[in-house]
Structure 1
Amino acid sequence: RLQTELTLKEHTLRTLIDRNRQDGTQPSLELTQYLDTLVSNWSGLQKKVDSKISLYSELHKLHDELKELLYQENAWLDALQNRIFTPVNHNADAQEASEELDTIERFIKAHPKVNYERIFEISDRLQTIKVSIPTINSQVSQFQLRWDQLHEDVLKRVHTLNAQLSDYQQLGKQIVDMVEWMNHTDTILNSRLRDDVYASDVPSEADVRTTNQ
């Protein structure tokens, strides 16, 4: 609207100037000075208006970009939340826990932080030019809190999964050690039975068993 009004006023100004030039009489010094001042003031006003229009155009673009980025990032946070807040399956085996851990880590790594950084770049830009949009400010603050909280939750979930994997590894090692001991013991017993070797023939081992008991 302002630009339209300026265009109309500019037309009026140029009409006055052209009329003065086309008039056959010599314009008075006072009229000439008045027109010069009018033209100078008009040029200054036009520059200010152009500057404001440029600023508001930038603000409009930044506002739209910020809204779109917040929408995209919140959608990603929704997906992340669904992944980390699925009920923990305490009966899951090591492979399932490992697959879930890999899935979460890939999901995080596959999402670049460029949008996240751009959100706060735009927010800082708006603060620099002293533009405050309460709704957007609130959305940015809520996004920041949600981002931080969910990434803390990710660390907790990863810690839980790593603990499960560690337990599985320890249990697996204990099972392997037990199987090896049983196989070794079975081999010795079969060998001695085959060779008719009895406990009385190896008193040192009998003493060890007695001591352990």
Structure 2
Amino acid sequence: EALKRNKAIHEDIQELEEWIMDKEHEAPADDGPIFYQDQIRERLEQYQKVQTELSLKENIVRNLVLQGRQDLNLPSSSAPELAQSLETLVSNWTNLQKKVDTKVLFYTDIYTLHEELKNLLHQENVWLDTLQNKIFSSTNNGADAEEISEELDTIERYVKTHSKTSYEKIFEISDRLQATKVSLPATNTLTNQFRIRWEQLHDDAYKKIHTLNSQISDYQHMGHQITAMFEWMKHTDSTLNARLNDDVYADDVPG
């Protein structure tokens, strides 16, 4: 009876070892690079499936190890062999669990980072759309100094009050993804396009600000000239009136 029981335990251990070996093949040390977004989700689902299968097997493994350890207390010539088999089983099982848990965590993080990157790119591009409209949609033809000043204030405030945190976060996430072999060509293209667009529109914004400042300066200069001209006209008018009142004419004034 003891031999029969011992043989059954060995067979169960062998069966589990084969199952673990199969799962090891499904969880290689290096999964290779990722090039498409769907691969992230596929790998995450793949390892979550193995993780679930491990959870379902856990009670079987625990009971088998418990049963085996109880049998080690019985007098048997195969006790050392059983002890070694149990130790190997526990080690292989634990290693597989750790590996799969690590993979699930890794791909969960990758997936989360990728989603965050996509959201940040969308938000920042929406902000750039508005900036672009503010730069290029306005027409200053016929605008007075006050209107130009308001436009200048609007663009300056829009640029200066926008935090650069999201911009920096985009490239931080992009670098992290590339460092973990998750280099998606489509996302890289979007990120690079965003960088170029960001720099170009900020350059355009500063040029616009410079132009508006110049226009305001021109208006102010023109205003000073007009004021000076009115002062001159006022002075001339006063002088002429004074001469007329005093019956002084140009011919009477010494040359």
2:141 counterpart residue number = 90
Q: Are positions 1:56 and 2:107 aligned together?
A: yes
Bigger mean CA deviation after superposition, 140-149 or 3-12: 3-12
2:58 counterpart residue number = 10
Residue ranges of structure 2 left out of the alignment (5+ in a row): 1-48
Q: Secondary structure at the match of 1:92?
A: coil
* Cα-to-partner distance string for 1:145-198 (whole Å, 9 max, x where unaligned): 111111111122212212211221121111111101111111111112212223
Runs ≥4 in structure 1, deviation > 6 angstroms?
Answer: none
2:74 to 17, 20, 25: 25
1:137 to 163, 184, 188: 188
Q: What are the residue-to-residue correspondences of 1:62-211 with 2, within 5 Å? A: 62-203=113-254, 206=255
Q: Secondary structure at the match of 1:51?
A: helix
Q: Distance in 2 between matches of 1:90 and 1:159?
A: 17
Q: Distance in 2 between matches of 1:8 and 1:192?
A: 114
Structure 2 counterpart of 1:97, which letter? I
Q: Secondary structure at the match of 1:156?
A: helix
RMSD: 1.8
Q: Normalising by structure 2, report the TM-score.
A: 0.74
* Cα-to-partner distance string for 1:60-95 (whole Å, 9 max, x where unaligned): 211121111111111111111111111423221111
Structure 2 counterpart of 1:66, which letter? L
- The structural deviation recorded for 1:129 is 2.1
8 Å CA contact 2:68–2:86 kept in 1: the answer is: no
Bigger mean CA deviation after superposition, 147-156 or 44-53: 44-53
2:21 counterpart residue number = none
Residue ranges of structure 1 left out of the alignment (5+ in a row): 207-213
Q: Distance in 2 between matches of 1:31 and 1:9?
A: 20
Q: Secondary structure at the match of 1:2?
A: helix
- The structural deviation recorded for 1:133 is 1.9
Q: Secondary structure at the match of 1:111?
A: coil
Q: Normalising by structure 1, report the TM-score.
A: 0.87
Bigger mean CA deviation after superposition, 157-166 or 181-190: 157-166
